[in-house]
Amino acid sequence: MTIEMGQIIGPLLLSLKTVMVCSTLFLLVGIPAAYYLAKEDLRFKWLFESVITMPLVFPPIALGFFLLILLGRDGVIGAFLGEFDITVIFEFPALVIAGFIAGLPLMVKPLQSAIEHFPKPIVEASFISGKGEMQTLFAVILPSIKRSLIAALLIASARALGEVGITLILGGNIIGETDTISLALYNAVIDGEYDLAWQLSGVLTSIALVLFFFLNILQKKNNY
């Protein structure tokens, strides 16, 4: 079987574009979420943690279905967005939402743990010196746990890259438009195009090895 490079390059570029947007959202949403979940006196902490970690234990297909109901044309959120001619389902934003939801727990939970174990006397000294919470977070805590931050971001981004279940439901698996590299692999297996499936698997494996390489470097530096 002849394999065209577009069958690999197209889904790969779409996946990388999706991961770049998801990574930005992980930083913008994940850092504040981890910081507030690390607070011991946070009310309803168990509820917020349950919502954040739900994608880790809830079947992706089922989660994708619930999101489809919410974001679809007749859904509560989808109908509201429709008033502004904004479409999410079966479009690029659906891929971002799927990757973001799948990867967010892997961004928040490790970072939350790192913040919880950060020496409290240093935080209190920062407050005494006149720094506010956000100043303390970004000027004191995050620079000290930057390796944990980078590791969490890499793991969350890898999860977003490999997401299939939610993406399949929300994105619709439209060839050439919403078929990420993971979905392209799924399609190749379903269609019996095993040569293409091997090559796509090789690309994903290569990316995974690169990520593991950087994670290993971060772990060794933490040990030192």
pLDDT band at 200 (very low <50, low <70, confident <90, very high): very high
Please report which residue ranges of the chain form alpha helices under DSSP H. 6-25, 31-37, 45-57, 60-71, 76-82, 92-116, 120-128, 133-136, 142-144, 146-162, 165-171, 181-190, 194-223
**Token digits for 178?**
């919403």
Ordered domains of the chain (ranges, CATH): 6-223 (1.10.3720.10)
112 contacts 37 by C-beta, under 8 angstroms? yes
Instruction: Report which of 42, 41, 32 is spatially closest to residue 138, judged by C-alpha positions.
Output: 32
Residue environment code for 29-46, b if the CB has 16+ CB neighbours within 10 A, otherwise e = ebbebbbbbbeeeeeeee
62-118 pLDDT, tens digit each: 999 999 999 988 888 988 888 888 889 999 999 999 999 999 999 999 999 999 999
Burial class of residue 158 in the structure, from the number of CB atoms within 10 Å of its CB (0-12 exposed, 13-18 middle, 19+ buried): buried
In angstroms, the CA 110 to CA 148 distance is 7
pLDDT for the residue 130: 84
**What DSSP character marks residue 28?**
I
**What DSSP character marks residue 180?**
-
In angstroms, the CA 69 to CA 10 distance is 29
In angstroms, the CA 86 to CA 130 distance is 44
**Token digits for 101?**
């939801």
3-state DSSP call for residue 41? Answer: coil
The residue to which tokens 């990574």 are assigned: 23
**Token digits for 11?**
């889904």
Cβ neighbours of 214 (radius 10 Å): 12
- What percent of the chain is predicted at pLDDT more than 90? 60
Average pLDDT over residues 156-169: 93
3-state DSSP call for residue 58? Answer: coil
Residues in the chain: 224
124-156 pLDDT, tens digit each: 898 888 888 888 999 999 999 999 999 999 999
